[in-house]
Amino acid sequence: MKKIVASLVALLVCLPVFAELKQHNLEIAYEHSDYGYREPHMEHPIRDHGRKQGASLVYTRNSVVSQDVTDDDPSFASLELRYMDGKVDYDGYLWSGAPFKSYDERDYYWEFALKVGRYYKWGEPVSIWPYLGIAYRSLRNGEDGEMDYGGVTGTTYQRTSNYLFMPIGSTLVFEAGDVFKLSLNTEFDWLLRGTQSSHMRGMFTNTNVATNHQNKGFGLRASVKAEFDINGVGVFVEPFWRYWKIQNSDPFYYGHDTEGGGFIVTGYLLEPFNITREYGIRAGVKF
């Protein structure tokens, strides 16, 4: 077994590299995933589950400050856009404690990320590309409609979740010959600011939207991309895993107006600790 592994390593090292770096690269991909959201610490746990599909674009420029690609300028910058849409099934409880289920709710999100970094070569076939950046994620769950919130009639629960976060990650690239490349990406997403807006018209006298700030949490991402070069065009498949763990939010206070024009607080709402996980596959072309 050791001799076989040693022979494979020697063969791969002797092969020519995948291709010279191009200064401008554009990836266009289709994505399909299994998606789940949970609030596991609630007295009555809540979960959303379903499938999503969408598209992503990634533009990368190598040797950012140079006119041509050169190892004297190993910098790079990338701009990423992603949109994912699908239907989820909601399994939870009303304020009264009664079980409530809803099927085929629309659930979609979009992401924007700007990342910068530099690469380091370990011999000819291996390189590592660390980076950091700034990113934004916006998710919308639910549709307009009517339902009974434990005795109060209003529109369905619509939730908008917005995250501003800092991606910190790296990609390990192994070039096996002139037609195949394998890339392993890992990323930590540091949540800088999160805002949850719950659209529940008719439930509060002071506003139709409950807004909670949820600023403690993080995300994790990992993927493995296999890329083949066909006449100068890259064709790739990339299984991926994405994860968010967000802590309890700040409270949103609600109540009622008094005859004198004041406002009496009668309660508050929290956006609870929650976990989101998504795994799937991304496939596309690279120019």
* Domains delineated in the chain: 2-286 (2.40.128.100)
Beta strands in the chain (DSSP E): 24-39, 46-62, 75-93, 99-118, 120-122, 126-141, 146-149, 152-155, 158-176, 180-199, 209-213, 217-230, 233-246, 252-257, 263-269, 274-286
Comparing C-alpha atoms, which of 171, 174, 182, 181 is closest to residue 222? 171
**What band does 94 get if pLDDT is binned at 50, 70 and 90?**
low
Q: Residue 228: beta bridge partners?
A: 180, 235
**What band does 8 get if pLDDT is binned at 50, 70 and 90?**
very low
Comparing C-alpha atoms, which of 144, 247, 175 is closest to residue 13? 175
pLDDT digits (tens, 9 = 90+) for 205-215: 556 677 888 88
Is the predicted pLDDT of residue 5 greater than 50, yes or no? no
CA angle 280, 285, 287 (to 5 degrees): 145
Mean pLDDT of 243-254: 86
Comparing C-alpha atoms, which of 133, 35, 32, 34 is closest to residue 76? 133
Which residues touch 150 (CB under 8 Å, ≥6 apart)?
94, 95, 96, 97, 98
Burial class (CB in 10 A: 0-12, 13-18, 19+), 264: exposed
pLDDT digits (tens, 9 = 90+) for 139-191: 998 764 455 544 544 455 678 899 999 999 999 999 987 789 999 999 999 99
Residue 136's CB: how many other CB atoms inside 10 A?
15
109-113, 132-136, 204-208: least confident range: 204-208
pLDDT number for residue 105:
81
Separation between Cα atoms, residue 127 and residue 188, nearest integer Å: 20
Note the Cα 22 to chain centre separation in Å: 27
pLDDT number for residue 280:
97
Is the predicted pLDDT of residue 227 greater than 70, yes or no? yes
36-40, 205-209, 270-274: least confident range: 205-209
pLDDT number for residue 265:
66
pLDDT number for residue 67:
82
Separation between Cα atoms, residue 182 and residue 176, nearest integer Å: 8
- Percent of the chain past pLDDT 70, that is, above it, reads 75
Is the predicted pLDDT of residue 229 greater than 80, yes or no? yes
pLDDT number for residue 172:
96
**Average pLDDT score over the chain:** 82
pLDDT number for residue 157:
64
Range list of H helices, the chain: 2-14
